[in-house]
Structure 1
Amino acid sequence: MLSPGNPYVLPSVLVAAGAYLAATLLTDASLLVRIGILALFVGVVPIALNRLLGGGSTDDRRDEPTEEAEQGDGVADESREA
């Protein structure tokens, strides 16, 4: 969910930084409230947008066999699938 394939991570981080600065400068919100706003925008919003709008996922790319598995003795490296 929170992966490089999620196109909503970068915009959410930028909005979170702006919201944190606005909460710091414009309100008398406590540090806990400001960090909560930051965590909401960075951790929850990109995942929710990805699920609602159907963004990219790295799980879709694992369906195709890799070149190593094709060239090897037929045994794929199972440590990469963990």
Structure 2
Amino acid sequence: MEISTQIHAPTVIVTIPDGIQLGELDLHPTPGGSYRLRFHARGRDAGTEAEFISADDGQDMVEEHLVLIWPAPNPD
């Protein structure tokens, strides 16, 4: 998935559609402005089946995510 957005603060809060906060992205020293974000995910089916796992408990992570962010003019 890829979206355009405005970034106004050095920290972005990441949430899933049902409102659960997953964490924060520290974008410092990224200046405010228009950006494109592209999201990649791998292992989504295995992640859904596992539902909740904890790397802190020594369980292997089954789902991986990559977020790419770059400056881009806001589309009209």
TM-score computed with the length of structure 1 as normaliser: 0.25
Q: By percentage of residues, which structure has more strand? A: 2
Give the helix-richer structure, 1 or 2: 1
